[in-house]
């Protein structure tokens, strides 16, 4: 079967899901045009998507047009769900960049274009919402050419009426014009004469396309300069090579609501997008992950498939796979190099939105789903055990926005934990850490909307209500001067008493974070068998400092003297005595709070440099350097206290109109300035009282 795999990308609200509806309606798969606002589209079926009227997860549906199966992957435009877009690009041969005509070039479109280029994936641009007021194809086209690339090449020209409303389109390659019949539901486009006013525009665009065709080979270049016209076959061949090599990005336009331009887009996909088996061999590694190997896209070759998405709902778990080589049948046993285990495959399906249709096999280049593969995770490879390869997984951005999560009702922690594990199978772009030190479960993702959706899904799917809070910062404490103190524990009750007496010198050290214990006892004033008890007492005490109860680090404790009782002395008595010495010494040893410092690398366009540096200054950050990336961006490297970074993901978005991105990792602890120390101590005391 002839197959094309496309991934719809673009800013939120640019009309991707509506475009899928138009394709399905035009090809007779649906008998009505679904609308995101009405909650009845094929691809936005999750209750959260219907409630919020935005796409949250990648969804797919096949469209049959002129005997070709087009697997359409619809991805969210919201930046919190960029991982879904990255999964879609991994499975598709080409990205269809959807830009709303009146919005010009949005940030989302810029980011998606950049990602396609990084992944070496071809691109088609679809300018949507041409039927709306203030739609301006010419301005959008100019912005695309200026900001993205000179390879932008329109294969259509819109026809406007006197009010600048788009009423038809011209197919530049075939030099034909079309419009949609008015008030005829589900009607196909009809051919109309090309308006005289559009002849000059058509000639100009046709000439540009012929230049692009000429550049695809020396023979065509020669023919072009000699003034010989290209045949239809030569034109299509040249344009297809240009798309495949990424030197040409065809632009089409239309309206999902009226259906104008949808057929043109489908024809462009079939004519100009390479089929999966026409693409070059895929780079992979052997089982060790160290040696590069090539996986040819051969229908008769050994099987190799990548799991690019997992769907986990109340009906079960489905692993979405793209077959790169060979084919998959329901009775196969394939090897998973990531787990080192063979996997017996379950039933196979074609996914159509939320509906599944069982199939006998998934052919080379096709996309399908395998049911009930509990051990299989997103990013893993399934391959022939006789030729083990590891296909490149989807590389997701690191989570950068964290919130503490807890159940609203006590005793439901396990329910929250189980729910998050299940949701993480479906969405690997967030992670969960149970921080034993701050006694919080912290969930980290791409932004506030993603975390909010997770909380909503916990309630709707797993019946547990959760609340979010700011994660606590794990401070440390240390001392800055030497102090000697005695700890004496004497207790006389009926029967044997308790007696322990120690003199300990406490001092700062910089060899290791853990406490160093030493003893310099002379004349057996403390018997050796009690040394471990003294050390144990001190180590337990170090878990809580005297300023705000945080662990004490870089401490040296030397046992120098003491006394004992031959009958009443015991390990517990010496342990208690050591702790008494600790409590007496530390307040006098000039204690200070240490705060965690992280290394920040923030990537921004040059124009935002001033705002970013000013903001880092407010966060007590130290700029360590700036490095240009070569694409008009700068990477600012800085060291910033973790306490100042809780809202950075949201703040950076507003400062850079979502063009900035960052990574942040803990590096070390440093002395806390007095103002920050007072604030942290006050918060710790308030928490302790709570």
Residue pLDDT, tens place only, 90-105: 999 999 999 988 877 8
- pLDDT tens digits for range 387-440: 999 999 988 989 999 999 999 998 899 999 999 998 998 899 999 999 888 889
Residue 669 has pLDDT above 90, yes or no: yes
3-state class (DSSP) for residue 436:
coil
Residue 315: Cβ within 10 Å count: 10
- pLDDT tens digits for range 217-271: 888 888 888 888 888 888 899 999 999 988 889 999 998 888 888 999 999 999 9
Distance of CA 368 to the CA centre of its chain: 23
- Please say whether the beta carbons of 309 and 332 come within 8 A: no
Report the percent of the chain where pLDDT is more than 70: 98
> What pLDDT is attached to residue 312?
80
> What pLDDT is attached to residue 165?
75
CA distance 284 to 289: 8
- pLDDT tens digits for range 544-603: 999 988 999 999 999 999 998 888 888 899 999 999 999 999 999 999 999 999 999 999
Q: What would the two tokens of residue 284 be?
A: 């992979």
Residue 162 has pLDDT above 80, yes or no: no
Residue 185 has pLDDT above 60, yes or no: no
Phi, psi for 681 (deg, rounded to 5)? -65, -40
Which region among 147-151, 211-215, 452-456, 674-678 has the lowest average model confidence (pLDDT)? 147-151
- pLDDT tens digits for range 186-224: 567 888 898 888 898 899 888 888 988 888 888 888 888
To the nearest whole number, what is the mean pLDDT of the chain?
90
Helices 531-541 and 571-585, axial angle in degrees (round to 10): 40
- pLDDT tens digits for range 144-153: 888 877 788 8
Residue 111: Cβ within 10 Å count: 20
- pLDDT tens digits for range 626-667: 998 877 789 999 999 999 999 999 999 999 988 899 999 999
The two most distant CA atoms of the chain are separated, in Å, by 116
Residue 292 has pLDDT above 60, yes or no: yes
> What pLDDT is attached to residue 150?
74
Confidence of residue 525 (pLDDT cuts 50, 70, 90): confident
Q: Which residues contact 75 (CB under 8 A, 6 or more apart)?
A: 7, 8, 9, 16, 55, 58, 81, 84, 85, 87, 88
- pLDDT tens digits for range 353-400: 888 889 999 999 999 999 988 889 999 999 999 999 999 998 898 999
HSE value, Cβ hemisphere, 13 Å, CA-based, for 540 = 14
> What pLDDT is attached to residue 568?
82
Phi, psi for 227 (deg, rounded to 5)? 80, 10
What number of residues does the chain have? 690
Q: What is the mean pLDDT of residues 674-686?
A: 89
Segments of 360-474 assigned E as strands: 361-362, 367-371, 381-383, 390-391, 401-407, 431-435, 440-445, 466-469
């Amino acid at each position: 079967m002839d197959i094309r795999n496309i991934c719809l990308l673009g800013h939120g609200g640019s009309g991707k899901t509506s475009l899928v509806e138009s394709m399905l309606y035009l090809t007779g798969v649906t008998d009505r045009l679904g609308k995101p606002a009405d909650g009845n589209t094929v691809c936005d079926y999750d209750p959260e998507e219907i409630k919020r009227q935005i796409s949250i997860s990648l969804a797919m549906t096949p469209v049959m047009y002129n005997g070709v199966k087009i697997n359409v992957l619809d991805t969210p435009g919201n930046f919190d769900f960029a991982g879904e877009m990255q999964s879609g690009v991994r499975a598709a041969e080409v990205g269809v960049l959807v830009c709303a005509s009146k919005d010009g070039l949005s940030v989302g479109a810029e980011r998606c274009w950049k990602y396609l280029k990084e992944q070496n994936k071809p691109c088609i641009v679809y300018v949507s919402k041409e039927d709306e007021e203030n739609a301006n194809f010419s301005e959008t086209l100019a912005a695309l050419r200026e900001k993205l690339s000179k390879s932008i090449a329109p294969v259509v020209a819109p026809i406007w009426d006197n009010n600048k409303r788009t009423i038809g389109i011209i197919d530049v390659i075939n030099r034909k014009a079309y419009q949609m019949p008015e008030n005829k539901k589900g009607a196909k486009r009809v051919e109309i004469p090309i308006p005289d006013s559009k002849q000059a525009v058509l000639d100009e665009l046709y000439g540009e396309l012929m230049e692009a065709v000429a550049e695809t080979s020396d023979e065509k270049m020669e023919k072009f300069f000699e003034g010989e016209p290209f045949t239809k076959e030569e034109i299509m061949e040249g344009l297809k090579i240009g798309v495949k090599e990424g030197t040409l990005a065809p632009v089409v336009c239309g309206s999902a609501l009226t259906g104008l331009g949808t057929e043109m887009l489908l024809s462009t996909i079939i004519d100009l997008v390479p089929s999966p088996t026409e693409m070059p061999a895929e780079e992979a590694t052997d089982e060790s992950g160290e040696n590069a190997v090539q996986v040819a896209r051969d229908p008769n070759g050994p099987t190799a498939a990548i799991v690019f998405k997992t769907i986990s709902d109340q009906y079960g778990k489905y692993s979405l796979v793209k077959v790169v080589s060979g084919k998959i049948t329901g009775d196969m046993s394939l090897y998973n190099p990531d787990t080192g285990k063979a996997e017996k495959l379950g039933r196979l399906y074609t996914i159509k939105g939320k509906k599944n249709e069982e199939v006998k096999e998934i052919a080379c280049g096709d996309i399908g789903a395998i049911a009930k593969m509990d051990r299989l995770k997103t990013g893993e490879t399934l391959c022939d055990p006789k030729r083990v390869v590891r296909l490149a997984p989807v590389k997701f951005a690191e989570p950068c926005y964290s919130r503490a999560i807890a159940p609203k009702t006590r005793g439901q922690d396990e329910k929250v934990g189980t729910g998050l594990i299940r949701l993480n199978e479906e969405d690997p772009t967030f992670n969960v850490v149970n921080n034993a030190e701050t006694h919080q479960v912290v969930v980290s993702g791409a932004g506030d909307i993603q975390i909010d959706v997770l909380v909503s899904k916990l309630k709707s799917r797993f019946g547990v209500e959760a609340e979010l809070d700011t994660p606590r910062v794990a401070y440390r404490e240390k001392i800055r001067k030497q102090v000697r103190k005695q700890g004496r524990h004497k207790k006389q009750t009926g029967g044997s008493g308790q007696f322990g007496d120690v003199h300990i010198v406490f001092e700062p050290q910089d060899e290791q974070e853990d406490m160093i214990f030493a003893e310099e006892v002379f004349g057996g004033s403390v018997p050796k068998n009690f040394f471990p008890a003294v050390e144990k007492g001190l180590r337990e005490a170090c878990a809580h400092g005297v300023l705000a109860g945080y662990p004490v680090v870089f401490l040296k404790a030397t046992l120098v003297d003491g006394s004992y009782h031959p009958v009443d002395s015991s390990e517990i008595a010496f342990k208690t005595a050591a702790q008494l010495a600790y409590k007496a010494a530390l307040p006098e040893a000039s204690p200070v709070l240490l705060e965690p410092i992280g290394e920040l690398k923030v990537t921004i366009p040059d124009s935002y440099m001033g705002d970013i540096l000013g903001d880092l200054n407010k966060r007590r950050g130290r700029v360590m350097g700036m490095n240009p990336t070569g694409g008009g961006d700068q990477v600012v490297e800085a060291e910033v206290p973790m306490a100042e970074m809780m809202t950075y993901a949201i703040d950076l978005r507003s400062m850079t109109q979502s063009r900035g991105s960052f990574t942040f990792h803990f590096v070390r602890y440093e002395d806390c300035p007095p103002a920050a120390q007072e604030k942290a101590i006050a918060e710790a005391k308030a928490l302790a009282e709570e």
